[in-house]
Amino acid sequence: MIKWVVIALVVALALLLWRMSAYASRNLPRAGDEAPDFALADQQGKLRPLGDFRGKWLVLYFYPRDDTPGCVNQAVRFRDAMRELEALGASVCGVSVDDSASHAAFARKYNLPFALLADRNGEVAMRYGSLRNLGVAKFAKRNTFLVDPQGKIARVYAGVNPALNTQDVTDDLKRLAV
């Protein structure tokens, strides 16, 4: 009997998490939408509003946690592509629910030359349809948004592969930033 109660609870929890995940995915901004506004502290504690990036392309990537394998892979690939991305007129910002101190350590450890933004309460990730809220823990989903110089979403990359994301963004920028 206890076995069936446990199974029922696990199934109910799985359905709840799936429903919350599906709801967040429906909130993904689409290409052509205004990029949801934000003002978040970077790894130095400096407030970085979306408006700071007007007039340039912005690669805004959400990632689950600092210094985890997939997040390191994605971050160092953006780091290694910075010259090319900057030549295409783009800035890069990573966003997670980690705090500025964690971001600072992560940026130092991997020599990351771009802003890592601290979305401690997950509000910005939620506006971008990129928050996984498990009740006791919140994580950003691995989604990337290419924002054009006028502040509109140009491309949405949902559930990205950290090993391929940078190349996909770079290829799209080469086509769009002409």
Cite the active site residues.
Answer: 71
Structure tokens at 137: 């823990």
Q: Which amino acid would we find at residue 85? A: L
Find out whether 98 and 77 touch, Cβ atoms under 8 Å. Answer: no
Structure tokens at 9: 């609870």
Give dist(CA 86, CA 176) in Å, integer: 14
Find out whether 125 and 94 touch, Cβ atoms under 8 Å. Answer: no
